[in-house]
Amino acid sequence: MSITMFQASVPVLVRGLTNLQTIIGKAQAHAAEKQIDPTVLTGARLFPDMLPLARQIHIATDTAKGCVARLADVEAPKYEDVEVTFDELDARIQKTIDYLNTFKPEQIDGTEARTITLKMRSGPIEFNGLTYLLTFVLPNFYFHITTAYDILRHNGVEVGKADYLGAK
């Protein structure tokens, strides 16, 4: 049995975002229990030159919605990147999950050879669909989810590998 572009994208991205919601929920509960101002956590960074938690979530959700939109050759919705509270970040993640779930396999399957062009500060980068998904989107997506997890874990939120991986 072979894997399709849809199977390698939409369900994988939804699962990662769903697990991120669980982690964010634990962080919100941790802040309430320890009487920590939640913005301390949503603004936390691993190192001064790294982006804060809220921005990690913005990028993870942008990566997910941009991926499926580009593969399906449709315009991705624009988000304002203003979410900073746990409730706002959770809502953004849910909005992205809901958007991903609107896609059907026939919109994504067969896009392995589709040309995807990203406009970067350094200039455009061109991929075929398969290379875009496997070597750009998924590593970038997991980098930002992992960094969000690490920021929270570093700040004492009791999350573990099972939270990151999620349920089967």
Statement: residue 168 has pLDDT above 90: no
- Would residue 59 count as lying in a domain? yes
pTM (two decimals): 0.96
The pair of three-digit structure tokens given for residue 146, joined into one six-digit string: 């992992």
- Would residue 66 count as lying in a domain? yes
pLDDT-derived band at 1, boundaries 50, 70, 90: confident
Specify the number of domains making up the chain: 1
Helix, strand, coil content of the chain in percent (nearest 5): 60, 5, 30
- Would residue 68 count as lying in a domain? yes
Which residue stretches of 43-128 are H helix?
53-72, 86-100, 105-108
Angstrom distance (rounded) from CA 43 to CA 91: 17
Q: Which of 91, 57, 71 is nearest to 10 (CA)?
A: 71
Share of the chain above pLDDT 90, in %: 98
Range of the structural domain that residue 116 is part of: 13-165
Angstrom distance (rounded) from CA 122 to CA 115: 19
Average pLDDT, the chain: 97
- Would residue 125 count as lying in a domain? yes
Statement: residue 126 has pLDDT above 80: yes
- Would residue 150 count as lying in a domain? yes
For residue 105, what pLDDT is reported? 98
Angstrom distance (rounded) from CA 53 to CA 144: 9
Positive or negative, the Cα torsion across 13, 19, 21, 27? negative
For residue 167, what pLDDT is reported? 80
- Would residue 61 count as lying in a domain? yes
| CATH number for 63 | 1.20.120.450
Statement: residue 41 has pLDDT above 80: yes
